[in-house]
Structures are given as C-alpha cells and as structure tokens.
Amino acid sequence: MIVYPKAKVNVGLRIIRKRPDGFHDLETFFISAGKSDVLEVTESAELIMNQYGLELDSDPEQNLCVKAYNVMREECGIPPVEISLFKRIPFGAGLGGGSSDAAGTIIAINRLYKLELTSDRLAEIAAKVGSDCPFFIYADCLNSEIGEGMIGRGKGDLLTPFVVPDISNYNIKIVVPDIFVSTPEAYRGVVPSGVKEPLETLLLKPVESWRDSIKNDFEHHILKKYPKIREIKDQMYRDGALYASMSGSGSAVYGLFPR
C-alpha cells in the first residue's frame, strides 16, 4: 500500500498559554503545501523500517512511522509490517514531515488490512503519536488549491475545517535553509501572546493585511537566534510576496506570491 504524505505550512501560529500538562494551547491554520514523501506499507513476518532519500539523524526504530505502527497494533491487533519511507520533506523545518509520515502509516495500514476505520477514528489514533498528526489524516481530503485547510486549536489536535478562498490566487514558495530547529528549542524561548481576535476573522481579510495582523509567535526569538531565517523572510517581501512567514517552529519560510 503506497501513500504520499504531504508537507504543511502554518498560516499564523499563536501560542495562547502554557498548559498544566506542560504542553501549550495554540491557534493556527494548517494547509498542505510543498513536497510529499513516499511511503509504502506491506505485510511482513517482522517489523522492518527502511529509510531512503534525505538522511535522517535518528535510528529507524525511533521513526514516527514505527511509533504509529505500534499504536495501530495496540488499537487494532494488526500483524507486523514492512515500512519503506522515501524522505523528501526536510526535517526540523516546521513542515510537519515526521507527523505526516506517521499519519500516512496509519492511513496505509487502515487500507492494507481493510479496517474501514473512519477519518475521525484514525485522527484519534494519530493524536496518540503527535499533536500535528491528526491534521495529516484529513489532509488527503482537502484541496489547498481552493484554500481548504483546518484551524488547529488545543495542542493543534482540535481541528475545524476552514476555507480561505483568497489563497487560490497565490503561489506558495517555500525556502528551507540549512538550519535545524528542534521543537523543544522553539518552545523553550516562546512567549505566549494570549487570546486575541480569532484567526478565522483575520484570515478572511485581504491577504495584504496579513503581514501586520497574522503572526507566528515562534518568530520573535527564532529570527533573533538565526538571522539567516529573517533574511529569507525579508527577501521574500523584496521579491514581491504579499505575506511571508516562518512555518511552524521553523526553519522553513514560505511566501504568498500573486499568480
């Protein structure tokens, strides 16, 4: 069973507060953009994890695909599988590649063994792997070309479908510098900005207004620590982007350019 896990970008990422459980409440708009990985799941006598393409700096057994398999095994009692991942989405870039691969593993297992679990049930399972994973369960059914995405709240796992039609008028350009920003590093320096005007309200305003109103709270300290990321963002505006932002916890930067 072959699936194509997609990358994502975050339009706005507001950190609302730190929770008692150590996580943070946030608000963001997820849309699919950029490259896809290629993931194949087949039946096997033992669990095997193969990695190709971009080299990952972790043991294959620590890959989120393996974690996703283990959660599916616990939930559904499935037998061992062989997972083959061709990695194209850069890691440590805020594009959600690892979470997308984990969700892709869950989707592929559901199809391979004809479990017929609903997307909502798969999203519940995916949430046990990571906070971003549920979005990628639904990403296959969303058409980012017409502005379909999902508002994420809570840890990013409380999702509401939302459409921003204006996005269809723009090309999304993504630049990934040779900088790795880990999620723990990003959260260590973030300062919650609290509750403000709902993101949905801001997204329905002209894209030209987003530069002043839709912010990624990680940028405040990440751009100071990594001036190269700030320069990429500034260059996008010089090149004609109407909106540019770091995606997620970085280091990727994307811009919306008129078609």
What's the pLDDT tens digit per position in 95-132?
999 999 999 999 999 999 999 999 999 999 999 999 89
Q: At what angle do helices 119-127 and 97-112 cross, to 10 degrees?
A: 130
Q: Which of 6, 37, 87, 132 is catalytic?
A: 132
Torsion from C-alpha of 36, 103, 255, 228, nearest 10 degrees = -90
Burial of 35 (0-12, 13-18, 19+ CB in 10 A): middle
Give the pLDDT confidence score for residue 187 in this predicted structure.
87
Residues 6+ apart with CB under 8 A from 21: none
Give the pLDDT confidence score for residue 55 in this predicted structure.
83
Give the pLDDT confidence score for residue 143 in this predicted structure.
84
Residue 164's H or E segment, with its range, is none
The CA-atom distances, in angstroms, between 239 and each of 177, 195, 254 are 17, 33, 12
Residue 228 known to be catalytic: no
User: What is the maximum alpha-carbon separation in the chain?
Assistant: 56
In 3D space, the residue among 142, 128, 106 whose CA is nearest the CA of residue 1 turns out to be 106
Q: Phi and psi dihedrals of 58, rounded to 5?
A: -135, 160
Sheet of strand 48-53, all strands in order from the earlier edge strand to the far edge: 2-3, 38-43, 81-87, 48-53
Q: Which of 8, 87, 128, 233 is catalytic?
A: 8
Residue 212 known to be catalytic: no
pTM: 0.93
Average pLDDT of the residues of the chain: 93
What's the pLDDT tens digit per position in 176-227?
999 988 888 888 888 888 878 899 999 999 999 999 999 999 999 999 999 9
Tell me how far apart the alpha carbons of residues 207 and 198 are, in angstroms, rounded to a whole number. 16
Tell me how far apart the alpha carbons of residues 142 and 177 are, in angstroms, rounded to a whole number. 28
Q: What is the DSSP string of 118-134?
A: -HHHHHHHHHTT-TTHH
User: Which two three-digit tokens encode residue 172?
Assistant: 């999304």
Give the pLDDT confidence score for residue 57 in this predicted structure.
65
User: Which two three-digit tokens encode residue 7?
Assistant: 């990358």
What's the pLDDT tens digit per position in 2-37?
999 999 999 999 999 988 888 889 999 999 998 999
What's the pLDDT tens digit per position in 132-183?
999 999 998 888 878 899 999 999 989 999 999 888 889 999 999 999 888 8
What's the pLDDT tens digit per position in 37-60?
999 999 999 999 999 999 876 666
Topology of the domain comprising 2-258: Ribosomal Protein S5; domain 2 (3.30.230)
